[in-house]
Structure 1
Amino acid sequence: MFTGAWWWATALVVLDLAIRVLAVVFVPRNRRPTSGMAWLLAIFLIPYFGVIAFLLIGSPKLPRKRREVQEEINTFMRSISAEEPHDEARGKNPAWFNSLVEMNNAYGGLPLLAGNSGRLLGDYEQTIQTMADAVDAATDHVHVQFYILSVDATTAGFFDALERASARGVRVNVMLDHWASRGKPHYAATKARLDAMGADWRLMLPLQPLKGKFQRPDLRNHRKILVIDGTVGYMGSLNMISRDYNVKKNIARGLKWKELVLELDGPGVATLDAVFISDWYSETGEVIIEGVRRAELVASGDSPGRLGTALIEHREERGTMLTQVVPSGPGFERENNLRLFLGLIHAAQKRIVITSPYFVPDESLMYAVTSAVARGVPVDLFVSEVGDQALVYHAQRSYYEELLRAGVRIYLYPAPYILHAKHFTIDDETALIGSSNMDMRSFGLNMEVSMLVRDAGFVDQMREVEDDYREVSRQLTLEEWLKQPLRSTVLDNLARLTSALQ
């Protein structure tokens, strides 16, 4: 006779087999081979936990309704770009650069625009003060979008400026990522302050299942954008929060974040604003176009397809910079930022300098970087000596030996600073800056914004920043790295495996 225990054992064996068979069928579908293999490994080794984790965070896509909204926006953006005169902006560029612009336009929908000027802001507190001063000059609207937005002693002046702007009748629209901001101190105080000043604020990608708003929890909006009156814009790596993020363990370790922000003036500001307006529409279903034509534009209903070409207005030229804004994230079919990074690295002929706080490349990016060195292009990589996120820190370290053996020069920015800036340059005239890290999270899970720049003068500014990094950093050597203890190597390799779970 078969006992109850036997039936239970048989059922568990059958269930275990079914899980493994179904995993092989469904997990690798439309997924990177490395990511599919990592998920299969997790499910095969720890079936029940692995399945639960896969059901919770296995899909790298936004909900279907949200993807439909994003596609509506993408189609609209491409229609705008199609009407842009391209000859003036592209005429003197090398063929490889124009082909990358065409790719960015196809995937992100925004055009390359001439006539911009920009300056780099690297001092943390002074950057926030500069933003506050710009808000104080606003006469029509202020668009604020930060992955982390928090009122504290460091950011108080910025919030004061927003309050003054609102009091004088300037429309203040604010977006902050729900999960990232709520996890920091002063979240309730921040929301209360925005309410008190009369700002119109929204949470990005809110996790509110009771309100029907839910997606994979770690799909986040990682963008940092500030636009004032459509005339001046800011974008880069800085979150609007204290330099230590008000986190106890950061304070105990004395950690301080090092950032880089671009202040932009010229026609390209409108494309940066277009990203904000798109995100606002995605979250609210409302179109916000400020200025005298707002009533006319939205009279027929809030739909981006009804706005015509007015979203991107041509302003007086302010400089020599060519700029193209490239949005990316789970709302797009392709990994827009990764493809742009790869195109730039493969195009480089003289030098490549990369700054990334979280450098956890996929195979294509590793091949691009190491191949560049092999064909005679020097590559410098700036990363932090210490890390704030253990898994990412150790996953990043797992690539150091291969990079060093290939000839990449790795510079460790000294503790207690976290080099959080995200930018790189190739040759003498091309640069990129934005919110995107060079890791698989930024490629596939985070909504990011990058700006491609073609201008020798701007690259000179970037070179000054890179030289400052180099002056204070320590170059890591292969000889030093090979002395790492075995326990560190084990931790690095384990973290590398988890980095592919997307």
Structure 2
Amino acid sequence: MLLSDSAAWAGAYLALEWTIRVVMLVVVPFRRSPDAARSWLTLVFFLPIPALAIYLLIGRPTYPRWRRDRFAKLPKLLAIAIKQIAHSHFCRRPFLPSNLEEPALLIEKLGQFPTLAGNDVEICPNYDQLIDNVVSDINRAKRSVHLLFYIFADDATGRRVMEALGQAARRGIACRVLIDAVGSRRWSRRVVKTLTSHGVDVRRALPVGLLRRRSARADLRNHRKIAVIDSRIGYVGSQNIVDAALDRGLVNEELMVRVTGPVVLELQAVFAADWFMETDQVLDAPVLFPHRAPGDGAVAQVLASGPDYPDAGVGLLVTALIHGARERVVITTPYFIPDEALVQALKTAVLRGVEVSLVVPHETDHLLVHLAQRSYYADLLRSGVRIHSYREQFLHAKHITVDRDIALIGSSNVDIRSFVLNAEVSLVVYDRSVVQLLRLEQDRYFAASEVLTCEAWKARSILTKTCENLARLAAPLL
């Protein structure tokens, strides 16, 4: 009897596994890239029941219906801000040469924000100096301070910023802070408690919890790093509010930009959109989107991307920029997990005579991601892409220059997670002087890097190659 029962249970289990395999074979490829489908189906074939559980948790890069419904209201609720950004005399549209018109139009179609002239852009590669600048600008704030950061720590750096926010709030300045609930989870309770006690309105973005009525998915995160002070000064880039030496003995090296001018209003609009998504509060007061006399300066625009913006993929922009390159492309990123379209764009650019360089850190804080990204190097090296392994610190900066005319600086890595799953923000600047300043930083990276070669890369051990290739199978899921 027991033997018969065991055989029946085994048969039922086997039938369940094969049912999952067959159903997933139909479901998984729907509206998914071939690489992602292949990774999911490999997992399903070997581990069907765990694969189904994981797929139900993180298999579809979409937010819950209530959040999608709220996002659908956003354009109407922010109509005043969008109108002021697009039509005020302060936010005048610039003339662009023909080679820049196409990327500018693409960005506007993807993220709604137009190109705006009259911006001053300052490159900020010094970690501690950046924090000094942010604190100083908060101390001089007269109306509002808005911060949105993936990581906001209760450490020496975080406490400096919190103290500045507290002093601003006591002066009557409207201070609002958004922190990602997962990225800041180690410190979020203390940060929220401290800022609230100072009179700062602070919220967790995309909170996660089994018992939460509106819990977010743990893998869909708000990865943006934005500061906007008085709608006049903006910061955007890769750096979080946390000590440089965060984990495992690694010291982060970052790059942010400090901007003044009309493009700051686009950063303000991104913050206002995220604030509405988390609080259902509309920030459209005219004081947050002021008119000022236009000045000289760089042409720039902002692209917000993420699951809330299904057509605003920063990956699509990066691929398009590489296809449009004529002379030189330099990509700096801590995590490099490209999709097939990006790999082909890089190879095609080299064949067209474009000098393509990739700068990645030698050290890592995510071993599986590091192994997966190394699996792409051999193919890129053979095609002529130059890969620079930066050895001084953990290079967490995220920026791209294209020829002498275009600089992209933001929070997005060059990986599938940033392209599809994370909410990101990018500042695109069309200005030769800004590109030249960024290229000076890139030249400094080159000088502190080991240049990888095909011959040396081929000499890796069989074990190393095997681990990298196995990690690559999971690349679309990382």
- Which stretch shifts more, 312-321 or 190-199? 312-321
Q: How does 1:6-85 map to 2 (within 5 A)?
A: 6-74=7-75, 80=83, 83=87
Match of 1:177 among 161, 180, 184: 180
Contact 2:90 2:293 in 1 (8 A): no
Q: Deviations over 1:23-54 (max 9, x none)?
A: 11212211112111211110111111111111
56-65 or 73-82, larger mean C-alpha shift: 73-82
Distance 1:268 1:335, change over 3 A: closer
Structure 1, 74-83 or 122-131: larger mean CA deviation: 74-83
Aligned to 1:362: 339
Name the TM-score, length of structure 2 as normaliser. 0.94
For residues 285-332 of structure 1, give each alpha carbon's deviation from its aligned partner in whole angstroms, at most 9, with x where no partner exists: 001245xx46xxxxxxxxxxxxxxxx7544333432111100000112
Q: Give the Cα separation in 2 of the matches to 1:62 and 1:38.
A: 22
SS of equivalent residue, structure 1 residue 5? helix
Local SS of the residue matching 1:149: coil
Report how far residue 68 of structure 1 moved.
2.4
User: Contact between 2:313 and 2:420, CA under 8 Å: does it hold in 1?
Assistant: no
Q: Which residue of 264, 267, 270 maps to 1:269?
A: 264
Question: 1:100: how far off?
Answer: 2.3
2:103 aligns with one of 95, 100, 104:
100
Structure 1 Cα separation of the partners of residues 423 and 292 of structure 2: 28
* 2: CA distance, partners of 1:85 / 1:69: 31
1:302 corresponding residue in structure 2 = none
CA apart distance, 1:208: 3.2
Contact 2:303 2:312 in 1 (8 A): no
1:195-250 residue CA offsets vs partner (Å, 9 max, x unmatched): 221100110111134331223211000000000000000000001001122x3xx1
Of 25-34 and 229-238, deviating more is 25-34
Deviations 1:369-428 (A, max 9, x none): 11111110001111101111011111111111111111111111114x111000011111
Separation in 1, partners of 2:406, 2:234: 20
Q: Which residue of the partner structure matches residue 492 of structure 1?
A: 468
Aligned pair partner of 1:136 in 136, 139, 150: 139
**Equivalent of 2:432 in 449, 456, 459:** 456
Identity %: 39
What SS does structure 2 have at the residue aligned with 1:458?
helix
Cα distance in 2 between the residues matched to 1:10 and 1:171:
64
Distance 1:83 1:33 in 2: 42
Deviation (angstroms), 1:93: 2.2
| Alpha-carbon distance between aligned partners in 2 of 1:385 and 1:399, rounded to the nearest angstrom | 15
Q: Deviations over 1:249-281 (max 9, x none)?
A: x1xxx3100000000000000000100000000
- Of 89, 93, 96, the residue aligned with 1:89 is 93
SS in 1 for 2:327: coil
Partner of residue 419, structure 1: 395
Matched, 1:348 2:325: yes
Native 8 Å contact 1:356 1:423 kept in 2: yes
SS state at 2:423 partner: strand
Inter-partner Cα distance in structure 2 for 1:109 and 1:76: 15
Q: Which amino acid aligns with 1:377?
A: V
C-alpha separation between the residues in 2 aligned to 1:477 and 1:241? 35
Structure 1 pair 179–88 and aligned structure 2 pair: CA distance change class (3 A): closer
Unaligned runs of 5+ in 1: 295-310
What residue is the counterpart of 1:299 in the other structure? Answer: none
TM-score, with normalisation over the residues of structure 1?
0.90
**Matched residue of 1:179: which SS?**
coil
Contact in 2 for aligned 1:359/1:439 (Cα 8 Å) = yes
Q: CA deviation at 1:4?
A: 2.1
C-alpha displacement of 1:101: 2.1
Q: Given the superposition, is the C-alpha separation of residues 84 and 30 from structure 1 closer, same or farther in structure 2, using an over 3 Å criterion?
A: farther
Give the RMSD, CA atoms, in angstroms.
2.1
Secondary structure (helix, strand or coil) at the match of 1:210 reads coil
- Residue of structure 1 equivalent to 2:213: 212
Residue type matched to 2:236 in 1?
A: M
Structure 2 spans left out of the alignment, 5+ residues: none
Cα distance between partner residues in 2 of 1:156 and 1:16: 52
Three-state SS of the structure 1 residue aligned to 2:477 is coil
